[in-house]
Structure 1
């Protein structure tokens, strides 16, 4: 417990360093105190952001460059429908990987916009999921992605394709380690696309690296879904934030050679029409 609280104090100090005026937070004496300190500091960071960037409105009333020290740069016009974000990746992808990220207002906004966008590329497709896949994702597929037939991995891994001419792998970090490993060992040549929800994993996770290597070796394009609300924000909430990162290797650009190259733009269109764009204030400072 002492080591845990020391680590929480280091995290609290890192948050405090984002403020112009330090709170000089004490070392927390309990878990509840650590949580309270984090939420207090997060509120202060949000308030500081609003005071500094009061001209940055929903409708981009002012084009003045943001004065915050965030590593992200935002460009947008009316109601953030065309939000363009430049900044670092949340993943440790390495120098030989090219990537393109589309940000949304939450993790579910990302997966739903991506799945809706896929209907413009696939008239019909199987989407193969592991046991334990996030329930709301499966609920969305059942209710709103009628072009996708949801089937479990046990039915198809290693088996030939069914009536659908296309097949998508939905790889979810909610799945058990046993099922995740079995999926990595199975043939992936049958898949047109891997959608990898890695919200439960750190950005530098070995599981992410192994899944990307597997996809690369099998020539399968990857779209990585993420909810950033807690894991990438030191366990606090600046606000809801999600993303989809389209990954492509520098030596063999799978996206350029695939009809799926249109998917990022189709997803941006879906986000614009659904009003699911990200809020700049929700990005970590």
Structure 2
């Protein structure tokens, strides 16, 4: 997920390709996008757009890729077939890059410890201007965060294997063509772990603002070990707290989300905190 609530690129959609032009200074995002496309083209062709060209050193760097068929899964109720296809694609994506290659891929940005620091940076500005219900949920989240240990990078563990993570759980990035799901948008991709990437999907606003994702059915399609399940619970709480802050950045004059979104997210966070 992006830790900032604004866009980093512009898209030129053509009949056979997509030209993705990044803003000035966004060379890291462009490089991650290109690396992901080339890796997936080599190890899981067809799962993501095929790389067509790039200019990674331009003032506004560019990646050119094939255009995929399909409609975004965000904003629609998912039937059992679509949910199964989404889970299958997500599982394939995580396992696509062989372990020996994955070890050479840098960690994805916005890892848990980075998000904890971002929450602390946001708090002095956001907390004083939210309403009572949202503020109470925020305070509960911050109290939980203080004892979570997530400010430290998680230790590597053999029962929490590394995976290739797309870094963005927005269902708008998952395209359904009537038979399978493919994936776009890899500017925050990198080496990650499965619980964190799954939490990216389940807690993203795109998974509940319009038509809520059946989270239990979706997660039930992954065979998670005990250590992964424990981390998943922690990461879901963390990302729910991040999203509570993000939805509070809405401009009342030009809101990105429907009215009441912050209150709804406050309720989601309270339920995850128990």
Instruction: State TM-score, norm by structure 1.
Output: 0.27
